[in-house]
Chain A
């Protein structure tokens, strides 16, 4: 692990800049996805692991980072998650049954930040939670608890620009929408590899190559590919095209077996990427 650059700029003080400042994007780009040394950067691919918020999440997040994750997404569960397949949906149902409402999730985020002062932490959630909490207040409270940015799965680019966040683009996105999303995305651009919801697939989506090509033509932001990536082979193949990969559903499943299992799984992805 030591050869990989630590993302210094986002820790140990988690939030050096208020949202909307462009430096932040630059820092994440420079430090997370490419490393400080450009010669290293060419080899390095970012590995993003998604975990659903729960009492054991800080420990799991630490295990993921020890296994080689560069960034951790923390799912704030919503009752009706349209973008999610069965695994994340069930995890959300369980989390809600355990009381993981916005306040509890912010506590989990803060506890995770304590354990991982240097790792970018990005809550991923749905509009209804922001609507209820207050759009700007949600972003502020998340930042105060240690969030590096946000992902809102059902909030398309162009809407609520006051909420600075990582934008998602999909194979169906037009070139205009790709450009719009890239122009407002916070640090990196999330490429949804499939036309579909989250969850493991047999093969890496053939749509990724074309999406990477169209996105590269429109932005210099790092491109991380997610949805449907679950195996080291997927991670390797996606890493050949994009600057990083996001693994969600499979990580959520493995996390049920505890931190050691998660660390082992994440390091298998790490090895496949490097």
Chain B
């Protein structure tokens, strides 16, 4: 198999989807070669989404360091997910697809998808595990208000893994008129590449902003990793700068890179929490957005090549970082990037860049119940 990232990636999907993936890939190449696509996306970023997002120096959170936060929490809808949703919605329009299907875990990708579908007049169906519906109630209500149909997924782990499988099954049945708007850099090719490119705006902007603020590149760039889309977007800005250390932070109970093995999940070969027979295991995390047993194939490649390293954070450490950022900087982060913030203090480096991938409003119930 022609794999995209070393031994990882590929297209492990039922035959029904192969022509649609071919069509998507061709449409994506055309869009990339079309200056008007990039121009429209940039304009939407500026006038609709709120790009560029600021870079904030967090001196009280990390005394003795120069910690900069890339503020994707200030993006419209409250998380980096909109970068990808906007780009893929434009792609769906180019492909003539009027219906969009998506999965969501924390609800941020569901909200971003519902938002772009409302903006462009597309039908929107979002699959969400009932366990996540319970812990991310505000996002559920937002999706409904935006006109999306949220379909509960009530089997298996009742979280992001099953929601993703169910979205793919929907796509298998509706592929002729439906675009599958995947939320992370996972799935069959060309999805990991599309999502990385659409999220790379995070790293590109942060690079320029940091050079302007400090006159140098960060010593280390840190981001949380579930499927890995905000991390791959941040890393994209620095992967060619060998002096910039890249650190991905996984939830301790969902460490696909830290304790996974090669397996096939949701259409690609990657590092997956799986048993020795290839059966996928349940991930467990307080953060619905990180509660996923797989990870983007490019992260597995970056880990194996040594270019990026991946560490873990426990639920308690993430909660502590959440509370500390609120008290020291007046920012409520989402629980997902709180995992990345939890590792900052122990870094040897002084100049640190963290992607604050989303805001924490959705997590208030979870945090205050602890």
Q: Within 8 Å of chain A (Cβ to Cβ): is B165?
A: yes
Q: Are A159 and B1 in contact (CB under 8 A)?
A: yes
Q: How far is the CA of A101 from the CA of B275 in the complex (A)?
A: 10
Give which listed residue, B174, B175, B261, B279, contacts A79 with CB less than 8 A. B279
Q: Are A177 and B18 in contact (CB under 8 A)?
A: yes
Interface residues on B, range: 35 or more
Q: Mark B10-28, 1 if CB is under 8 A from A, else 0.
A: 1111111111100000000
Q: Within 8 Å of chain B (Cβ to Cβ): is A157?
A: yes
Q: How far is the CA of A194 from the CA of B172 in the complex (A)?
A: 10
CB-CB under 8 A from A90, the residues of chain B are: 155
Q: Are B265 and A80 in contact (CB under 8 A)?
A: yes
Q: Are B267 and A132 in contact (CB under 8 A)?
A: no
Closest to A84 in B: B169
Q: Within 8 Å of chain A (Cβ to Cβ): is B266?
A: yes
CB-CB under 8 A from B15, the residues of chain A are: 156-157, 167-170, 172-173, 177, 181, 192
- From residue 1 to 41 of chain B, which have CB atoms closer than 8 A to chain A? 1, 10-20
Q: How far is the CA of A82 from the CA of B175 in the complex (A)?
A: 14
Q: Within 8 Å of chain A (Cβ to Cβ): is B176?
A: yes
Interface residues on A, range: 35 or more
- From residue 143 to 167 of chain A, which have CB atoms closer than 8 A to chain B? 153-157, 159-160, 167
CB-CB under 8 A from B1, the residues of chain A are: 159-160
Closest Cβ of chain A: how far from B165's Cβ, in Å? 5
A-B Cβ contacts below 8 A, count: 122
Q: How far is the CA of A85 from the CA of B165 in the complex (A)?
A: 11
Q: How far is the CA of A80 from the CA of B279 in the complex (A)?
A: 8
Q: How far is the CA of A32 from the CA of B360 in the complex (A)?
A: 62
Closest Cβ of chain A: how far from B265's Cβ, in Å? 6
Give which listed residue, A128, A168, A170, A174, contacts B263 with CB less than 8 A. A128
Closest to A174 in B: B19
Closest Cβ of chain A: how far from B198's Cβ, in Å? 24
Q: How far is the CA of A9 from the CA of B14 in the complex (A)?
A: 30
With A154-B12, A181-B15 already in contact, the answer to whether A172 and B276 are too (CB < 8 A) is no
Closest to A78 in B: B279
Give which listed residue, B14, B175, B277, contacts A102 with CB less than 8 A. B277
Q: Are B269 and A96 in contact (CB under 8 A)?
A: no
Q: Are A79 and B12 in contact (CB under 8 A)?
A: no
- Point out which of B161, B168, B263, B279 has the most chain A C-beta atoms below 10 A from its C-beta: B279
CB-CB under 8 A from B272, the residues of chain A are: 128
Q: Within 8 Å of chain B (Cβ to Cβ): is A17?
A: no
Q: Within 8 Å of chain B (Cβ to Cβ): is A197?
A: yes
Q: How far is the CA of A80 from the CA of B262 in the complex (A)?
A: 15
Closest Cβ of chain B: how far from A44's Cβ, in Å? 27
Q: Are B276 and A132 in contact (CB under 8 A)?
A: yes
Closest to B265 in A: A80
CB-CB under 8 A from B266, the residues of chain A are: 80, 82
Q: Within 8 Å of chain A (Cβ to Cβ): is B306?
A: no
Q: Mark A193-231, 1 if CB is under 8 A from B, else 0.
A: 011110000000000000000000000000000000000
Q: Within 8 Å of chain B (Cβ to Cβ): is A27?
A: no
Q: How far is the CA of A131 from the CA of B1 in the complex (A)?
A: 12
Q: How far is the CA of A174 from the CA of B23 in the complex (A)?
A: 11
Closest Cβ of chain A: how far from B45's Cβ, in Å? 33
CB-CB under 8 A from B261, the residues of chain A are: 132
CB-CB under 8 A from B169, the residues of chain A are: 82, 85, 197
- From residue 96 to 139 of chain A, which have CB atoms closer than 8 A to chain B? 96, 101-103, 126-133
Q: Within 8 Å of chain A (Cβ to Cβ): is B91?
A: no
Q: How far is the CA of A131 from the CA of B276 in the complex (A)?
A: 10
Q: Are B12 and A196 in contact (CB under 8 A)?
A: no
Q: Are A82 and B172 in contact (CB under 8 A)?
A: yes
- Point out which of B17, B172, B176, B262 has the most chain A C-beta atoms below 10 A from its C-beta: B172
Give which listed residue, B175, B265, B278, B279, contacts A172 with CB less than 8 A. B175
CB-CB under 8 A from A101, the residues of chain B are: 275, 277, 279
Q: Are B16 and A170 in contact (CB under 8 A)?
A: yes
CB-CB under 8 A from B161, the residues of chain A are: 80
Q: Mark B259-300, 1 if CB is under 8 A from A, else 0.
A: 001111111010010111111100000000000000000000
Q: Are B155 and A78 in contact (CB under 8 A)?
A: no
Q: Are B173 and A195 in contact (CB under 8 A)?
A: yes
Q: Within 8 Å of chain B (Cβ to Cβ): is A89?
A: yes
* CB-defined A-B contacts under 8 Å, sample of 13: A80-B266, A82-B165, A83-B172, A89-B155, A101-B279, A102-B277, A132-B261, A133-B278, A159-B10, A167-B15, A172-B19, A172-B176, A195-B173
Residues of A within 8 A of B (CB): 78-83, 85, 89-90, 93, 96, 101-103, 126-133, 153-157, 159-160, 167-174, 177, 181, 192, 194-197
Residues of B within 8 A of A (CB): 1, 10-20, 155-156, 161, 165, 168-169, 172-176, 261-267, 269, 272, 274-280
Sample of 11 more A-B contacts, CB < 8 Å, known A82-B168, A101-B277, A195-B176:
A78-B279, A82-B267, A83-B172, A96-B279, A129-B279, A131-B262, A131-B264, A154-B267, A160-B1, A177-B15, A192-B15
Pairs A-B, 4 closest by C-beta atoms = A132-B278, A196-B173, A128-B278, A170-B16
